[in-house]
Amino acid sequence: MFLDIHTKIFIFQIKYEIILFGNEIQNTYSVAKLTAIDEIKEKINSNDYQIQDIPLLLKALEEIIESESDIKKQLADISSLKILITIQGVINVYMEIKNGKFTSGEKKISNPDITISMGEDIAKQIVGGDEDTATAYINKKITVSGDISKAISLRPVLEQAAEILGLDIAG
């Protein structure tokens, strides 16, 4: 089959436009798909982080654990751990490790192994790096019920994740 030059040019232009359009869609998708890590870093860097962003922070933690093999290995031996964090009058969030897999969310879970409770002011100070969790616990600014040693075992994981996020969370 013989095509004249104009038809060949036209077909080439269509193929080229399809390729360009496909790349635009792909680039748009990549830009639109911000990760929780990106979103929380943006909030932290612009000093726009609020206590209500804790679920986003926990999703970023999930992403970090999933992508960082050395952090993931630290959780591998934990068969089951449920932690409820209550910021009084503001939000309830949970962290759960089951068979080494970390998940989190915004809700009050039943039968947590550990419950950590604090006021909004102390939560802001901890996230901002102005208060150490251990000191806050000793000074009774935080209450913990359950086996605190299990919570302490997560400290290295949380410190590594905080470093990746650029947070200065002092233990």
Domain residue extents for the chain: 1-33, 38-165
pLDDT at position 108 = 92
pTM: predicted TM-score of the whole model, two decimal places = 0.73
pLDDT at position 88 = 93
pLDDT at position 154 = 83
Residue with tokens 């050395």, as numbered in its chain: 70
Query: Which residues contact residue 122 at a Cβ distance below 8 angstroms, ignoring those fewer than 6 apart?
Result: 131, 136, 141, 142
pLDDT at position 31 = 45
pLDDT at position 12 = 60
pLDDT at position 143 = 94
| Separation of alpha carbons 60 and 161, rounded Å | 9
| Separation of alpha carbons 142 and 112, rounded Å | 17
Q: What is the mean pLDDT of each run of 10 residues along the chain (171 residues)?
A: 58 64 50 74 82 90 89 86 93 93 92 95 83 89 90 83 75 49
Q: Does domain 38-165 have CATH number 3.40.50.880?
A: no
Torsion angle defined by CA atoms of residues 105, 107, 110 and 112, in that order, rounded to the nearest 10 degrees:
50
Residue with tokens 């232009």, as numbered in its chain: 13
Tell me if residue 169 falls in helix, strand or coil.
coil
pLDDT at position 141 = 95
134: its two tokens: 């251990």
